[in-house]
Amino acid sequence: MRSEDTSLVAALRAPTPSCSFEFFPPKDDAGEAVLWQTIADLEPLDPTFVSVTYGAGGTSQERTVRITARIAEQTSMRPVGHLTLVSQTRGEIESVLKQYAAAGVDNVLALRGDPKGGPRAPWEPHPDGMTYAIDLVELAAQLGGFEIGVAAFPEGHPDARSLQHDAEVLVAKAEAGAEYAITQLFFRSDDYFSLVERVRALGSDIPIVPGIMPILNFAQVARMAELSGAAMPPEVLEQIEPIADDKDAVRAKGIELATQLCRDLLAGGAPGLHFITLNRSKATREIFEALRADGLV
């Protein structure tokens, strides 16, 4: 049984900010080799945890579970296994949770997941499955033995009726057993802090960890932001668009902007930073080293 002082939630509630990394399951063995090199590069930074996502539309489940288990077995890092509802029966989801538990993975991120047609497509639950992330939170809590995380949306989930309703959904997930949240990518610290204020006003103190994705490829990040419902703010566009054709300049400016965002978030009391790495370590290490030089991590 996990002792309370070594739990992920305890780390997120500690005075020292957490640092964590997100990976995605590669499509082939060559991509997996790159991922394991990235994991080796980032392990010395001693992250609070690392997570492995599902592929689009719930694909890559087997590879996600296998990679997450291997991180638990062969590294010093604490893995968080992603789990979505897309195209799965309740029994299949329960089976994945039990696979995680058997591999020593006692942290899961409970997500509805994006429909197979993409984040903007209509949601169609499996006939024998579940519809909302809160259903998955309740299932994981019933099985027991897991610390459960969920997603949060600084600019609101694309399906949310309002920002207030979106905050109410997050609080409901916390009341159902979620113990922390990780946000979707965003670009303005004000959007993050406004979400935190809405949640706190509803009486919840769930730790909300900001998700950070530096703009290294303008078109790629703009597309991901559009799909997730995050706006590319004018103050960011006016710095990136004039250099959009210069890949090196975009990368340097993207790292600069992300580093400043991280500084602002930590200065405002964010419990940590969750870096969306896209399975590459260099940019994340550059941002981390800049923050460490500032004495922030």
Percent of the chain with pLDDT over 70: 92
CATH number at residue 92: 3.20.20.220
Query: With bands split at pLDDT 50, 70 and 90, how would you rate the model's confidence at 263?
Result: very high
Flag whether pLDDT at 118 surpasses 80. Answer: no
Number of domains in the chain: 1
Say if 295 falls within a structural domain.
no
pLDDT at 117: 57
Model confidence at 112, in pLDDT bands (50, 70, 90)?
A: confident
**Among the options 22, 138, 147, 155, which is catalytic?**
22
Q: How confident is the model at residue 77 (pLDDT cuts 50, 70, 90)?
A: very high
DSSP one-letter string for the chain: ---GGGSHHHHHHSSSPEEEEEE---SSHHHHHHHHHHHHHHGGG--SEEEEPPPGGG--HHHHHHHHHHHHHHSSSPEEEEE--TT--HHHHHHHHHHHHHTT--EEEE-----TT-TTSPP---TTS-SSHHHHHHHHHHH-S-EEEEEE-TT--TT-S-HHHHHHHHHHHHHHT--EEEEEE-S-HHHHHHHHHHHHHTT----EEEEE---SSHHHHHHHHHHHT----HHHHHHHGGGTT-HHHHHHHHHHHHHHHHHHHHHTT-SEEEEE-TT--HHHHHHHHHHHHTT--
Distance CA 6, CA 4 (A): 5
Q: What is the mean pLDDT of residues 52-81?
A: 83
d(CA 211, CA 136): 21
For the cut 80, the answer to whether the pLDDT of residue 294 exceeds it is: yes
What average pLDDT does the segment 38-62 reach?
A: 83
Asked if 4 is an active-site residue, the reply is: no
Neighbours of 159 (CB within 10 A): 15
- What's the pLDDT at 120? 60
Average pLDDT estimate for 38-48: 94
**Mean pLDDT across 33-42:** 94
Q: Is residue 138 assigned to a domain?
A: yes
In this structure, is residue 125 part of a structural domain?
A: yes
- pLDDT band, residue 222 (cuts 50/70/90): confident
Q: Has residue 126 been placed in a domain?
A: yes
Of 114-118, 266-270, 293-297, give the lowest mean pLDDT range.
114-118
Q: Is residue 264 a part of any domain in this protein?
A: yes
pLDDT confidence of residue 261: 97
Mean confidence (pLDDT) of the chain? 89
Higher pLDDT, residue 211 or 231:
211
Say which residue, 116 or 89, is predicted with more confidence. Answer: 89
Residue 296 lies in a domain: no
Tokens read off for 44: 């010395």
Residue pLDDT, tens place only, 159-210: 889 999 999 999 999 999 999 999 999 999 999 999 999 999 999 999 999 9
Strands 208-212 vs 272-276: parallel, antiparallel or unpaired = parallel
Percentage, residues of the chain above pLDDT 90:
68
**pLDDT value at 59 more than 60:** no
Q: Hey, which of 13-27, 45-59, 126-140 has the most confident mean pLDDT?
A: 13-27
Residue 68 included in any domain: yes
Q: Can you give the residue range of the structural domain that contains 156?
A: 4-290
pLDDT number for residue 28: 87
Please check whether residue 297 lies inside any domain of the structure. no
